[in-house]
Structures are given as C-alpha cells and as structure tokens.
Structure 1
Amino acid sequence: MHTVSREKLYEEVWSRPMTKVAAEYGVTSTALKKTCNRHKIPTPERGYWAKLEHDKPVRRVSLPKLADARLDQVRISGTSTPDLPEQVSKAGIEARERLTTASELAAAGATDFPVEEPPILGATRRAISKARPDAAGFTSAQGRGIVSLKIAPGSADRALQLLSRLFALAETEGYRSKVSDTGLELATEDVSIAFGIEERPSKTTHEPSAAELKRRDDNRRYGISKDPWPKYDYSPSGRLAIVIQANLWSGLRRTWSDSKTQKVEAVLPEIVAGLAEHGALLKERRRAAEESERQRQKAEARRRREEAFNAREKRRLEFVDAIHEQLLERSKLTAVLAHLEQSSAEGKNHTESISAWIRRRIRQIDALTSPEFLDLSARSAKLGFVEPPKDPGSEYASGYYAYPSVPSLQLWSIDEEKELATSTGMLEWAIHAGLLPASEDARVKDETAKAEPPPQS
C-alpha cells in the first residue's frame, strides 16, 4: 500500500509516461488511471508523449481544486512481486513505452474498424463453428493449431476479431503465431506462450422445477436433506477474457477481461506488454534452470575428480607400502647375514647355504626396488605420481578409474634391442641373473631336502 498526495501524483503522471509511474507503484497503467480519475487528477491524453518527443504542441491540464479534503491523500494498493527478476519488469516497462508512444500501435486497440483475419486462424474458426454447445450454452475448441476457446456461439465472430487484433499488435513486438500439438501460440525466437479466450458466465439463482421439488420431497422421506438441484445457473454473458496459460503462481497478471467501462480490446497494448513480461520470465527461468544444471554438472565433475584423486592417492600409498615392506625385509636379511658372517669368521662355516640364499634374496629385493624396475612396475599398474591435467578428454575426467588390483612390485626382463620390458617370475629372473642354473638336470644340491641329523658324540 502506497500513500501519496494528490499534488505529487499529479506531477508524477505529467512528468513521466504512465507506464513508468504505474510500475513503481506495482500496478498497471490502467489501474493507475482509474485511481487518478477517482481523485480528479487529469492525465495526459493518448499520444501526449509521442507528440512531446517530436516537438509537437501539447496541452497540460491543470490540477483542479477540490472541496472534499478526503481526496487529497491517494492510496494505491500495488501488487508486490519482489521475487520476480528485474528483467521481467524491465521487459514490461519497455514494451508499454513502445506501445504507448507509437501512435499506430495505440490505434490497434480501437474497436471502430475491423482487422483482416489471418489465415492461421482458419482452423480455430472451423473448430468453433462445428462445436456443439454444452448444457450452459458454451462451445469449446482446442487441438493442434487451434486457439483454446470456451465461448457462446454468438461470441465467435468477436472472439476471432479479438484474436486478429491481438496477433497484429503482438507482431509489432516480435511475436509470431506458432502451431503446436496442443494449440496455437504466440512465440519469439526464444519462447513460446500459450493463451486462450474464455467467456465469463452469468450466474443466477436456480429456480427449481416441479420435478426437482418432487424429488426433494421424496428424498426427505428417506432422510436426505440436501436439495437435488444446483444453487446457481450459469449462462453466457458476452464478457470475453484473454487468459495467458503460462507461469502459474508467478505473481504476473494472466487474465484481462471486459469490465463495466471498457472492452478487452481497449487493453490489448497492456496484454501484449504482459506477453513480454511472461516471455522474459520464461527465458529467465530457463536461464536459471540451465545455470542450475551447469552448476550441478560442475559439482558432479568436482566430486568425481576428487573421487578419482582419492583412489589414486590410495594406490600410491599401497605402492609405497610395498616398497617399504621390501626395504624392511632387506634390513632384516642384512642383519641376519651379518650375524652369520661373524659366526663363520669365528669357526667352521656350517651356514654357507643360508648366507647364499640371503644374498640372492637381497639381490632380488635390490632389483625390485631399483628405480628402473619401480618405474616399470608403476607404469604397468597404470599408476602415476603426477596429477593428470584437468582436461575433459583425459581418462580421469569421467571420475573414478576402475583399477584392476592393488599395485605390486615386479621383476622385469628387459630386451634392449626391442626396447621391450616383460614382467617375469622370481625363478625366471634368478636364472636370467645367473643366480640359479638354467637346466633342471644340473647337479645342484637340493637345499629343501631333509637334512640328516649330526652324528651323536
């Protein structure tokens, strides 16, 4: 609710177009003009701002004095829509300015001359002419390429003429008719808006017939007290309304209808401005949905990247643990070998075979943990210690990589000529390194055979 003095409102409506003043108060220009009329505030005539812009003579009507002091304060009840984006109100204001200042567009709201019916309305005319009235006297038309209608048969010509005027005026704002599976819509390159025409019904109290009265008396004998007839009867009124079938519960105006003082044809510029607002809101909602989806995909990519990073870190630690385990074993073997060598120096050596095996095992660990073999083992396990680039085409961009198993250290046979490395087992590597004989027939002492016990003293 806004409260403003009569003098201030008079200065506002004569200093700026009515559409801009009305937008600040959260009302339509038509509603603001009605408020001015109630408070005896003169407003600029149609075409005033266009004439002023082209330096043509205009006349400003003085504010008359009133004896009724109650009219000095003007209360304007505007509809607040703070949740709507700024682009929506801006689109409506700009459209209203264009439709108000252009004299040829303002003339489209007049009703004293017919407008040629466009061919695109042919399907709508045929559908409404073939439709049969319902019990209340209304006919309905809808379907592919048909404007949604619910009117009395006698209102068909006026409804089609109203649509012709709406299409002509909407075309000046860049809207074209578009056939859809559910109807005929007004569309720009970005959005498509469905709409329809409805005839407001007249409501009268139902007068029960003799048969209905008899049915009521029969029902009451069985304990049914409800009257067996409707409370009201509905019939065509001739009052038409244009309804925009978009952006439900948005706060934007969706219905314009005949009133006691003017026909809906007179507010066609306001309806087209409403189309601009609805179109802007549809575009903003689509943009917001696309941005939300983009943020969702970005968050999902971040989550999947983090998941892949954690998986790589886990495998890297497993690989390092495997190296550390080998180094611990080497330290243990080295300590045992030192003990055995010290014992051998003090007397007869009875553990030469054990020492030989420990030396072979140490050489195997040294090979496993050598930089060359570690690099080959890491690459074989598809394990990298440098983070991959943040590239949509990289193997990690899609998220978690399905690694085959826990990474392990391997022994390798390297062919220098072919530049080929092949993983090999411990026995094969020991033979290739010359630590074990290549032939199984060689006379080698079986170190795993059961040792004979020493002779008793």
Structure 2
Amino acid sequence: MWKTDNPAYQSIEIGGAQHHGNPQLAFAAKAAQDAGQKPVLKMKRRNVQKAAVETSASTDDEPSVEAVAAATFELIERPHPMIMGIVLDLQRATPDQDGGISLEGIRIHERSRTRIIALLHNLAHALELRSITICHGKSGLRAEMPPDAVRFEILEGRKLEKHEPTPSELRKEMDFQRRRDFAIRRGQWLPPEHFFSEYDYHYSGRLSFEVHNWADGARKKWSDGKRQTLEGVLESIVDGILYHLHFGKARREKREEDERRWQHMARRRELQKQRNDREQRRIRFLNELATYQQEAANLRVTIASASTVSASAEPEYRRMVSWAEDRLAYLDAQNAVGPLTANLKLQNLFPESDELFDPEGDPN
C-alpha cells in the first residue's frame, strides 16, 4: 500500500475502531476536512513536463477545491499581488560571490530567480483558493489564516567545495607576491591580500520547501527529486500548509480554553477566599455582640445591687455606679436594632444580593 503523509491513514485496523495516536493531529485532520479540504496525502507520481501541475479529480462525495492553473518555470509577467513585495526584493537582490541570493525565508542561486517567482505565483493562487495569504517580513515567509500563521522557507541545495583558482586570479596573486617580495627587499612591508576565497558554494538547482511548525507526525518538507519537482506537488504543499494552520488553530484554541478555565478557577478560588474571610468577620461580629449583651446583663445586676447602698456610700462608689450606668446605656445603644443594622450594612456582612456567591459551590 502507498505510504501517506497523514499519520491517521498510516495504519489500518481490522475489526476495531480507527485510532489516532495524537489527538491534536486527529482534531486538525477533522478541521481540515470540515473546511472542505482533503487530508495531507502523498501525491501520486506523475511525469512532470516543465513542472506542470494539475489538480487531481474529486469524487462525487469528496469536497473539492477549484483547480489551479498549471505551474511552470517560465517567466511570470504579472505576478500575484500577494507576492509583489517578494518579487521586487528578489529582482533588486545583489548576488554574492557564489551567485547566491538570500532573503528572509529564501536562499537560492540567481539562476533560480525566475523559477522561484513562478513557484510563489502559483503557490499564492492555490493558497488564495483556501483563504490563505502569503506575507513576507523580518520573520521570513508566512502563510496566514488570521489569527493563525505558519512560517515556511524555500531553499536551494548547495555544497561547500574547495575553490579552484582561475588563471586570472592566479596571475593577480603572483603579481602581488612579486610586489611584496620587492617591497621586503627594500625594507618595506605590504599587508597580505586575498584574491579568491578558499571555498565556494555550488548550488544544485534543487529546491526544498519546509514548513516551520510543530505538528508531530505531519509532513513538513517537500523537495525536488528524481521523479518530482516542487511544482509537481504544489497541491500537496498547499494542503500541508492548510493542515498546519488548522493544527496551529487547534493548539491556539486549546491554549485559550485552558487559559479561560484557569482564569475561571482563579476567580472561583478568590471568591472562596473572600467568603471565608467574610465568615470570620461574621463570627467576630456575633461574638462581640454576645460579649456586649453579656456585659450589659452583668452591669444591670451590679447596678441594681449597688443602688441599695449608694445613698450611704462614699463619693467614689457613687461615681463608679454612675459610670456603670453610662456604660450600660452605651451597650444598650449598640445592641439596638437600628445601630446593629447600620453596622451590618457598613461591613456588608449579610447582603441581599451576594456578589460572592458561587453557583458551582466551593472549588476542590
């Protein structure tokens, strides 16, 4: 059986339910299908002439995407507006000594400039059909389906080899060495110079497309090979980008849901703490009320007993009884319904509408 790039389809269970090893991958696959896209499957091998791409036919019961025009290596006279900034940067880029052109997210040889523009042009058209845009900035190339985005890059293979000096470079080096030897004989010194690099980068012309996003088990890289080109698997690349966007969306929504749950639990715990604090204040209030009432009862007994001897008592004793009567009057005032109610409202101990009420009860 053909190997697929979607891990959900890499195993077949006979006599059992379908199993997804990674729940988030399964969620992303379902989201991509619900959005009207196919899973990320490896494209069938096709004979690609000058990198032509044709969308595979859809069956009656499979959602389909509008066909994308054939992608070629030929010069694109009117690039897609989505990539105009990238095209201008590519055209203005000055090749280095090895002919390489480097932008954020792109590293190719100048010979591949026309091809990369054509590839990006057709990629933009295919992504547009799926409501995906291409952006280019300091973070490189990005495919966006706001608020979600994935970063990708297109690189041309290269290898580092020992530089073989040209006859012109050798002549320059020999001329400089003669001048340097002559200067040394005259007691002068010339600083050394280099007329060619020790190593060169040799570009292979083979491009690779890689999505920089974590999605364990999902395909991230496509490359030119013996039997395919990037243009020949353009639809697979686009479906892969869509898959990664849905995977990123699933992760983002999971993070947001976790954050909402955390905030909700934090709020409930804060309410619980405030309720516990209020319970302690209620207890203190009632204890103080009981203390006042007990003190008032004791004072009444004391004053009643003292009044029988106050007429013959010393002035200090009568002044004590007078102070006890004033204290009793104060306590009676504090224990009256009016002042008690005002104090309860001030401390908000028993509100009619309880803002600390948690309909879910106390959190565990």
> TM exceeds 0.5?
yes
8 Å CA contact 1:178–1:185 kept in 2: the answer is yes
**Percent of aligned pairs sharing the same letter:** 26
Cα deviation digits, residues 80-136 of structure 1 (max 9, x gap): 962534221234565236964349856646548876522443332332233233354
CA distance, structure 1, for counterparts of residue 94 and residue 75 of structure 2 = 27
The residue aligned with 1:168 is: 125
The residue aligned with 2:88 is: 126
The structure-2 alpha-carbon separation of the partners of 1:167 and 1:287, relative to structure 1 and needing over 3 Å to count, comes to same
CA distance, structure 2, for counterparts of residue 100 and residue 90 of structure 1 = 21
The residue aligned with 1:238 is: 205
8 Å CA contact 1:109–1:269 kept in 2: the answer is no
1:278-427 equivalences under 5 Å are 278-340=244-306, 354-379=320-345, 381-386=346-351, 388-390=353-355
CA distance, structure 1, for counterparts of residue 96 and residue 23 of structure 2 = 41
CA distance, structure 2, for counterparts of residue 311 and residue 336 of structure 1 = 37
Q: Secondary structure at the match of 1:195?
A: strand
CA distance, structure 2, for counterparts of residue 100 and residue 268 of structure 1 = 11
Q: How many residues align?
A: 297
CA distance, structure 2, for counterparts of residue 101 and residue 20 of structure 1 = 19
Identify the match of residue 37 of structure 2 among 95, 98, 109. 95
Q: Secondary structure at the match of 1:84?
A: helix
8 Å CA contact 1:96–1:270 kept in 2: the answer is no
The structure-2 alpha-carbon separation of the partners of 1:108 and 1:25, relative to structure 1 and needing over 3 Å to count, comes to farther
Cα deviation digits, residues 311-352 of structure 1 (max 9, x gap): 3223222322321221232233233234435668xx966666
Query: In the alignment, is residue 256 of structure 1 matched against residue 222 of structure 2?
Result: yes
CA distance, structure 2, for counterparts of residue 372 and residue 232 of structure 1 = 96
The structure-2 alpha-carbon separation of the partners of 1:107 and 1:370, relative to structure 1 and needing over 3 Å to count, comes to closer
CA distance, structure 1, for counterparts of residue 203 and residue 264 of structure 2 = 56
Amino acid at match of 1:375: T
8 Å CA contact 1:150–1:198 kept in 2: the answer is yes
The structure-2 alpha-carbon separation of the partners of 1:359 and 1:123, relative to structure 1 and needing over 3 Å to count, comes to closer
Q: Secondary structure at the match of 1:96?
A: coil
The structure-2 alpha-carbon separation of the partners of 1:365 and 1:390, relative to structure 1 and needing over 3 Å to count, comes to closer
CA distance, structure 2, for counterparts of residue 107 and residue 279 of structure 1 = 20
The residue aligned with 1:25 is: 10
CA distance, structure 2, for counterparts of residue 112 and residue 208 of structure 1 = 31
Which ranges of structure 1 fall in alignment gaps of 5 or more residues?
1-8, 28-79, 143-147, 212-229, 393-457
Amino acid at match of 2:103: A
8 Å CA contact 1:109–1:266 kept in 2: the answer is no
The structure-2 alpha-carbon separation of the partners of 1:114 and 1:243, relative to structure 1 and needing over 3 Å to count, comes to same
Cα deviation digits, residues 22-43 of structure 1 (max 9, x gap): 741079xxxxxxxxxxxxxxxx
Higher relative contact order (CA 8 A, sep 6+): 2
> Offset of 1:237 from its aligned partner?
0.5
8 Å CA contact 1:174–1:188 kept in 2: the answer is yes
The structure-2 alpha-carbon separation of the partners of 1:357 and 1:96, relative to structure 1 and needing over 3 Å to count, comes to closer
8 Å CA contact 1:19–1:97 kept in 2: the answer is no
> Offset of 1:175 from its aligned partner?
1.8
> Offset of 1:161 from its aligned partner?
0.5
CA distance, structure 2, for counterparts of residue 133 and residue 81 of structure 1 = 46
CA distance, structure 2, for counterparts of residue 104 and residue 352 of structure 1 = 104
8 Å CA contact 2:39–2:243 kept in 1: the answer is no
CA RMSD of aligned residues (A): 3.9
The structure-2 alpha-carbon separation of the partners of 1:387 and 1:286, relative to structure 1 and needing over 3 Å to count, comes to farther
CA distance, structure 1, for counterparts of residue 320 and residue 295 of structure 2 = 16
CA distance, structure 2, for counterparts of residue 248 and residue 269 of structure 1 = 21
> Offset of 1:365 from its aligned partner?
1.6
The residue aligned with 2:15 is: none
> Offset of 1:358 from its aligned partner?
3.2
> Offset of 1:185 from its aligned partner?
3.6
8 Å CA contact 2:82–2:124 kept in 1: the answer is no
Rg comparison, structure with higher value:
1
Which stretch of the first structure deviates more once superposed, 315-324 or 349-358? Answer: 349-358
CA distance, structure 2, for counterparts of residue 20 and residue 250 of structure 1 = 11
Identify the match of residue 138 of structure 1 among 71, 86, 100. 100
> Offset of 1:231 from its aligned partner?
11
Q: Secondary structure at the match of 2:38?
A: helix
Which ranges of structure 2 fall in alignment gaps of 5 or more residues?
13-19, 41-54, 59-63, 174-196, 358-364
CA distance, structure 2, for counterparts of residue 271 and residue 168 of structure 1 = 13
